[in-house]
Structure 1
Amino acid sequence: MARSVSLDDFGRLAGDLVQAVAADEETVVVTRDEQPVAVLASHKSVLSMASLVDLPRWEEWLRDMKLAVPDAAGKLDRLARAAKHPEPVEKASLGFDPKGSGSVGSDAGREFLGGELRRLGVPVVDRELLGGIYAAVLELCEDKQTVYEEDLRVIAQEKISEAPQRLKLLAVTVTSTTGLPATAEVTLELGHGPAMRREQGDGPLDAAIKAIEKLTGLNPSVENFSVVAATRGHDAIAEAVIELVHEGETVVGAGASTNSIEAGVHAYVNALNFLVEARSAG
């Protein structure tokens, strides 16, 4: 299990703790006011193994972190469960009730969809775009017995990414060497053509996010971030969920990849698309 140490105690015990971590004996979570502020782990630890897509060990490390800081982990768990186990949506509320009222689409159903998308962290303010999403949702209602919240999110994500001036991840390359800052090179489609940026950060994901911030001019706060293994094995698929806050708007993005870092970048870009959509109303 990870060892939890207060910031004051860390200053006094830093030498011993670093030696223990370097020997790969334990991981240390540094806390302030009982909230985590830093994690100290060796290069050979399961944290570094996560970047090599050893996701079963990554999950083991996450379990240790959650035991060390249960309060901070609670919200991450709720986000991850929402992504993996979405709730069903009443088709009638969406205006799809051919056997009952006989309706297949309504203004009330479209308004309900808009409210649900905002609640799910996918705000859609453009009426034409919402209409396109609604039409796709109605088609799904015809083809699928049960429609889930995640279905609504995925359809909205696809339609937003197809709209002009939206962000699309074209490529990401990260490098990380012990003792040196991580470097990320990110290429995005910005609506007017591709653009590339290279930045350094405290880790591969931090470097990639900094590059995206420079490319987009957006600098939201990362409220929560979670990565879980969706499948088993050394080639397991990682699912990332990220919550961003910017100018009073909260959005949630999701991404998946066999590489945990790439999954996180996809989730971040996904969430930024929702922010761009929300800002387009201004």
Structure 2
Amino acid sequence: MKQESIVPSAVPSGPSGRPSRGAFQRVLHGIGIAIVAGEFPVGSTLPNKDVLLRRFAVSNTALREALKTLQAKGMVAARTRVGYWVRAQNEWNLLDEDLLAWQLEIGVDDLFIAGLFEMRQSIEPAAAALAAMRRSDAQVDKLRDLANRLRDAGVDRQRFTDVDLDFHLAVIEASGNPMMRSIGAVIGAALAVAFRLSAPTDSLAELDETHAQHLAIAEAIAAADPQGAADAMMAVIDQGSSRIASEIEPLDGTIEIRLHSRSSGSGVRAAD
């Protein structure tokens, strides 16, 4: 069968034969979710090219680029005369923003949740301590403003989520360590999980406490108090961890962690 008969004529493409972003994202998301959900299990070979082209109605170019992207994420590898196969989960780049989003989309278990918060506990207090030693006056002003905007968000859960993520990313920025920026996706995923079941916006008393805790981080950074900043950050992370129930259902609702919006236009979602 000729390849041209498989690809719909209406499949859009970009300049120079490049796939449209919509087609690329569709096939990337589809195969990625299928791998994470176990439809394509670890060690198995992906369906052949013709099957994937029919399933996602994309061009050869879009499929090829998606497979290269999944390979870069450590999820698949190519085998001569066999095709692509799914690698062991410990080979995946678990900090990748897309991978975290796919995990949240299908639902997460206690081990996954614990891993998210352990990552935060190991990095964010150190980032806060570094911020206390390196921050600029403008960065202190930004942190204070964001802390106050948490209180002003009131019962608007999406608005609160956006500001909370901005605050934690601002602390990392103030640390002066660009390598710590990679934890941004982990912070977003952890916030999505925490707010899936219970957000500070559900209680005015808890909202006030959360505002005070974030302001304490900002003030410790402003006072050039590394230990105080680290302790205040740990208190905030521990509070978020305490909201997590023992069982988490698939997350497919309306709270969005808009980390990608700062770069590529997509996001990590969590339910109300």
Instruction: Give TM-score scaled by structure 2 length.
Output: 0.25
Instruction: Give TM-score scaled by structure 1 length.
Output: 0.24
Greater RCO, 1 or 2 (C-alpha within 8 Å, sep 6+) = 2
Larger strand share, 1 or 2: 1
